[in-house]
Structure 1
């Protein structure tokens, strides 16, 4: 989930107190059309799956006032919204998350990907965003949803479709006893201060629920490819941060160092090697970029995530057999090596 524009966060909240919870309301002083555009911008940036909003009415009423709260976690997110009339569209891809939505208000016509139905207060539904789709939300629709990276659950397309076709699952014991209390009270629990401890809890709840609903056990072996994919996704997102190391990945994955090692034992790169390879590739592409502005080697090392210029020099020499000066003066061979490295990394 990307950070929303700064203008969309409560103007009165100081930066240090925002933590991970972001609050949204339409700013005062905007005309109705400007209000909708502001809402559209915030929504498109706050939802992990790339989406766009379109108006469903020619004129936006003067009282247009959607509100929302969003919270990012490691591998999951929460969004609590009271909506104004709009239709949400997305293109869909296999990396998109899976939504579990708790509808707190009634809705005479909630339409999801062409299926229109009446929604009662308290309804809980799975919604799949891996395929192209849309939903129409009328005025006053109030809902809170949790989105979890589907790779963390090891669900295939068939399982996801089965979950989506179940209808209301609000009476399920896990939903009533564990999940609804989380979705109904997360703003009041200080959850934003406990993010790194929550991911295994959230994942366990969702895995247990999916396993129960599908009447199939969750096998660790079946989750291994998904776990590797999730760890790699985390590293690709954060490798430019110099603080990223194996310990940070251990914290994210909730695996021990030994378990993380065995998870990657058949991969070409172990975790530390994968981080270094990504940083090396970034450095090579910046060093040989003829179209960009000239950056110093120290700036490139910093931008690539290396903790020092010396570390980048060593990595570049290991990858190309050349010094930094040779790489910059004769970029053709380093570009070939960069392409080979990109292929080995798998991106």
Structure 2
């Protein structure tokens, strides 16, 4: 196998593999097409939680055979992001639970869900269990993200899991569409490996919220807290450039009272109002750092960042960086450092 580490190792996994490290797979150079396929087959069989075997579709492997993959093994969950090359795959099932959530970025002519084979369109999201024998046909370029989760961590029994596996495409579920899918689409971002321990409760909270919605069963509000925080932060990040965004707008979006919203964010680095100002400040600092910043008026920068006035931008820059607006313009290295600190503070 050939992995290219992309991130810092934070802990050792149960199988001796690094836990908390983003691992990148690529076919080694210098191999023949047949050797490339054997190498990919060996990696693939070790990357999922069940004995699975890839087989060639054609008699010979095309010269351009070049599948890729990224993996992240976290506590209680793991992610595998695969762009396949033409192959078929089959597995005989395992004697232990192996639960997955799959997001298909591209279509698949044949995929087996709980023993039933069907065509899958691009964008489909489904649950499936590798303990049930199955197979799939992957055309060149088949791309999918797989989230493996610990059913015990989510408090799921066999009946609940079977209900989830029996659901058709769930991509239109509001929590799936607005929260889980964006997370699955952006999990490879720089610096994620350093945050994997923090991610575990967030993943658990998001999955709890999704499953509670799908099965129409109540969940402990404490288990939903991090998912709600993530949803609010996502809403703020999407809208902070609009000067009309205030805490009242967030209250309306979240269906919470101002007091409940305050307590929801208690313990976070920033309360909602400060989070809005911080994102606007970061946007302003990045605009000021652009090579063409001299072409824009400061009032224009303030408006483009979501501030209602130049004075509001001045106050926010002082609040979050300790710098005056003039100092922020003149001290480029200090500005870079303060921007990095603020970016970390406002991460989802």
Classify the TM-score, shorter chain.
0.5 to 0.7
* Equivalent residue, structure 2, for 1:9: 3
Three-state SS of the structure 2 residue aligned to 1:192 is helix
Is the 8 Å Cα contact of residues 110 and 138 (structure 1) preserved in structure 2?
A: no
* Equivalent residue, structure 1, for 2:68: 67
Relative to 1, partners in 2 of residues 1:28 and 1:43: Cα closer, same or farther, differing over 3 Å? same
Relative to 1, partners in 2 of residues 1:218 and 1:97: Cα closer, same or farther, differing over 3 Å? farther
**TM-score, structure 2 as length reference:** 0.55
Relative to 1, partners in 2 of residues 1:216 and 1:169: Cα closer, same or farther, differing over 3 Å? same
**Could you list the runs of 5+ residues in structure 2 that have no partner in the other structure?**
11-17, 222-348
Which one is further off, 128-137 or 112-121? 112-121
Instruction: Give 1:52 shift.
Output: 2.6
Is the 8 Å Cα contact of residues 45 and 51 (structure 2) preserved in structure 1?
A: yes
Three-state SS of the structure 1 residue aligned to 2:205 is helix
Is the 8 Å Cα contact of residues 113 and 135 (structure 1) preserved in structure 2?
A: no
* Equivalent residue, structure 1, for 2:142: 141
* Equivalent residue, structure 1, for 2:242: none
* Equivalent residue, structure 2, for 1:178: 179
CA RMSD of aligned residues (A): 2.7
Relative to 1, partners in 2 of residues 1:147 and 1:51: Cα closer, same or farther, differing over 3 Å? same
**CA offsets 1:245-304 (integer angstroms, 9 cap, x no match):** xxxxxxxxxxxxxxxxxxxxxxxxxxxxxxxxxxxxxxxxxxxxxxxxxxxxxxxxxxxx
Instruction: Give 1:92 shift.
Output: 2.9
Three-state SS of the structure 1 residue aligned to 2:187 is helix
Relative to 1, partners in 2 of residues 1:189 and 1:172: Cα closer, same or farther, differing over 3 Å? farther
Is the 8 Å Cα contact of residues 8 and 194 (structure 2) preserved in structure 1?
A: no
**TM-score, structure 1 as length reference:** 0.56
Which one is further off, 29-38 or 53-62? 53-62
Rounded to whole Å, the distance in 2 between the matches of 1:162 and 1:69 is 29
Relative to 1, partners in 2 of residues 1:15 and 1:100: Cα closer, same or farther, differing over 3 Å? closer
**CA offsets 1:94-120 (integer angstroms, 9 cap, x no match):** 533311111111234444465343322
Rounded to whole Å, the distance in 2 between the matches of 1:197 and 1:82 is 27
Rounded to whole Å, the distance in 2 between the matches of 1:168 and 1:54 is 27
* Equivalent residue, structure 1, for 2:57: 56
Is the 8 Å Cα contact of residues 7 and 21 (structure 2) preserved in structure 1?
A: no
* Equivalent residue, structure 1, for 2:159: 158
- How many residues are matched? 213
* Equivalent residue, structure 1, for 2:103: 102
Relative to 1, partners in 2 of residues 1:165 and 1:113: Cα closer, same or farther, differing over 3 Å? closer
